[in-house]
Structure 1
Amino acid sequence: MTESASAAVPAGFLPVATVPRLTSLSHGGGCGCKIAPGVLANLLKRHMPLPAFPHLMVGPDTADDAAVYRLNDEQALIATTDFFMPIVDDAYDFGRIAATNALSDVYAMGGTPILALALVGMPISVLPHDTIAAVLRGGEDVCAEAGIPIAGGHSIDSVEPIYGLAALGLVHPQHVKRNATAQAGDVLVLGKALGVGVLAAALKQNQLDAAGYAALIATTTQLNRPGIALAALPQVHALTDVTGFGLLGHTLELARGAQLTARLRYAALPWLPGVEAFAQAGIATGASGRNWNAYRTGVTLAPRLPAIAQALLTDPQTSGGLLVACAPEAVPDVLTLFYEQGFAAATVIGEMRAGAAQVEVV
């Protein structure tokens, strides 16, 4: 046959040799591509404060995880959105991670997701349509696991691949958990191991093996469902999830919201397999340095900490774990809720104390 191979290529298909890695198409990945916290704070300062809305229970004033609007005495609506560029090259896994991350903010407010809308930006002429479809399928499968539909959405043809969700949830108004209501004496419990940004950076440099990749996918696609049960515990005083601003950044938000000192014990922090070795080899994300520059004035690191501590503590977490501030007597119940739902890395990492609004790491 004299017909060229290219003449038989169907629309939306690219030969394997020409398909680029997803992570090569974006300048950042996952929650590491957030606007730097210092820049974001400066941008938000330029806006006029919101007028009073009596039914708006949670707005932008404390940098909380989602907005909450009281519907009636029994229900409050949680609304949030999250989207980003690829953190991995596998399209299906990218969709799963992005969807899990977006739903996390509903769980972090103590809510139950009810539906989602897909937010899709893809370079249509660069990526095979099958690849884009796999991203969407990953998001759909996570939402199915959460028991909700993707009921619509919006798509654009963009230079970089972008995917995420606008997510809605419901919570009883008395069970809303904020990031600004921790109390002195509270114990801090973290639900997932840390180091997602470091592993993602290692993946991009072709240094992450199959076991490391499996650990990365397992943690970033684990839905933070314990947030629903945690919300029903009156001795859980504050709740957030650890994402793009790293453990230090999100703990500092807790401290500033409550006007307390958060003390973290570095030796108690759980790390994903291989993270510390990669950090010692100098593997980190650019977002880690931006995070440190943004909030270093609110953080004190003990001199005895290892040299890699700063990079690890500021490492951006994509679809990271819940951070719980609870009364000491509630710790067994909190840990049990995590363990029963498969969060084996959940552990106590510190406490809240009277003092200046800052984070101390000892």
Structure 2
Amino acid sequence: MNEHPRLTALAHGGGCGCKLAPSVLRELLADQPVAQVFPQLLVGTETSDDAAVWQVDDNTCVIATTDFFMPMVDNPRDFGRIAATNAISDIYAMGGRPIMALAILGMPIDKLPAEQIREILAGGRDICAEAGIPVAGGHSIDAPEPIYGLAVIGLCHPSELRRNADARPGDVLILTKGLGVGIYSAAIKKGALDADELAEMVASTTLLNKVGSDLAKRADIHAITDVTGFGILGHGLEIARGAGLTLRLRLADLPLLSRAAELAEAGFFTGASTRNWAAYGTDVTLPEGLAPWQRNLLTDPQTSGGLLVACAPEAAGEVLEQIRAAGFPLAAIIGTAETGPAGIVVE
């Protein structure tokens, strides 16, 4: 009999649902010095973008990011795979290609056997191998809760850098993966997710967002970000605020995991969903009479979610087909960007 505790039982939260609420993060960063005194720093903290970017020369930018969290699944290898996919995604969301990673590991070594910790690390290496990069080192500590993730370094040409703040009026918005990861995570904790649905969630959260590097080569792609812990509304707001635009999202067009709506209506959601709404709800206009469970879909934290892409309207159909051909069958056009106050209107 396996007497070791479930990974998810050792953590107070899981996946990107562990992130600080957007309002808390803004408060913590409010008095930080402006980083743009360094002219080579093309992207810092000023636009809540996915990674930092330093221009080395006329042809090369270095992209740096780090991401880690507590387990949202009990299989240790899957935990490692999901965490690594999520961390590498930030490089793709900036239009770059990763070149190496460093592991970040905190484990309650008195509660977890060494073989399970090795499986977590092996899962991370699996995904890094799929991305074509080495795990070149890292750092580990004895921690009260299991934590794993990566620091990732990538490269891009300056012309292929894609910020989240460069959307333009008239742009069409495309989301590459289905929403509902946080809702599925809540169902896991209560034993309400079957094996096929768990496999669906793992497949989505371990699908590398490599297509971001290819999209950034297109001049008609203006902005990219990945949708993670703040949900589609939170990361959409980062685009809206950065570009000073209104985003219009069509609720009926949002792609969802197969049981996301059913589980949300049945009352499954995470605490992060509630915190997200409290942090940014004043900048969002929802349809009259929207049910609370529908709002929870919009604020649902996505661990290793899809890319939110803003592209020229005349290219939207071609871009959507390119994304689907790259292995993202749920990719969908979900709205538009237009001139107006920075915020989101859901229709």
TM range (shorter): over 0.9
| Alignment correspondent of 2:59 | 74
| Alignment correspondent of 1:24 | 9
Amino acid at match of 2:185: A
Aligned equivalents of 1:334, 1:196: Cα separation in 2: 24
The alpha-carbon deviation at position 304 of structure 1 amounts to 4.4
Q: Please identify the structure whose Cα radius of gyration is greater.
A: 1
Note the alpha carbon deviations across 1:178-222, whole angstroms, 9 max, x for none.
000100000000000000000011011111001110110000000
Aligned equivalents of 2:175, 2:128: Cα separation in 1: 24
Question: Aligned to 2:183, what secondary structure does the other structure show?
Answer: helix
Aligned equivalents of 2:281, 2:247: Cα separation in 1: 14
| Alignment correspondent of 1:4 | none
Amino acid at match of 2:304: S
| Alignment correspondent of 1:117 | 102
| Alignment correspondent of 1:39 | 24
Report the aligned-residue RMSD. 0.9
Note the alpha carbon deviations across 1:235-256, whole angstroms, 9 max, x for none.
1110000000000000011100
Note the alpha carbon deviations across 1:243-287, whole angstroms, 9 max, x for none.
000000000111001101000000001110111111111110000
Aligned equivalents of 1:58, 1:46: Cα separation in 2: 18
Runs of 4+ that moved beyond 4 A: none
Alignment of 1:336-351 (within 5 A): 336-351=321-336
Amino acid at match of 2:2: V
Point out the more displaced range, 197-206 or 49-58.
49-58
1:171 aligns with 2:147: no
Amino acid at match of 2:89: S
- Kept in 1, the 8 Å contact 2:173–2:336? The answer is yes
Find the partner of 2:119 among 122, 125, 134. Answer: 134
Aligned equivalents of 1:91, 1:40: Cα separation in 2: 29
Note the alpha carbon deviations across 1:59-87, whole angstroms, 9 max, x for none.
11000000010011111000000000001
Amino acid at match of 2:30: K
Amino acid at match of 2:180: G
The alpha-carbon deviation at position 46 of structure 1 amounts to 2.6
Question: Aligned to 1:170, what secondary structure does the other structure show?
Answer: strand
1:237 aligns with 2:211: no
| Alignment correspondent of 1:181 | 166
Amino acid at match of 2:42: M
Unmatched segments (≥5 aa) in structure 1: 1-14
Point out the more displaced range, 330-339 or 144-153.
330-339
Amino acid at match of 1:218: A
Question: Aligned to 2:116, what secondary structure does the other structure show?
Answer: helix
Amino acid at match of 1:176: L
Q: TM-score, normalised by structure 2?
A: 0.99
Find the partner of 1:301 among 286, 289, 293. Answer: 286
Amino acid at match of 2:228: T
Note the alpha carbon deviations across 1:270-323, whole angstroms, 9 max, x for none.
110111111111110000000000001100001143442211100000000000
1:257 aligns with 2:249: no
Find the partner of 1:54 among 17, 22, 39. Answer: 39
Aligned equivalents of 2:289, 2:276: Cα separation in 1: 21
| Alignment correspondent of 1:3 | none
The alpha-carbon deviation at position 338 of structure 1 amounts to 1.0
Find the partner of 1:105 among 90, 96, 99. Answer: 90
- Kept in 2, the 8 Å contact 1:229–1:337? The answer is no
Aligned equivalents of 2:319, 2:196: Cα separation in 1: 29
How many aligned residue pairs are there?
347
Q: TM-score, normalised by structure 1?
A: 0.95
Identity %: 58
Question: Aligned to 1:61, what secondary structure does the other structure show?
Answer: coil
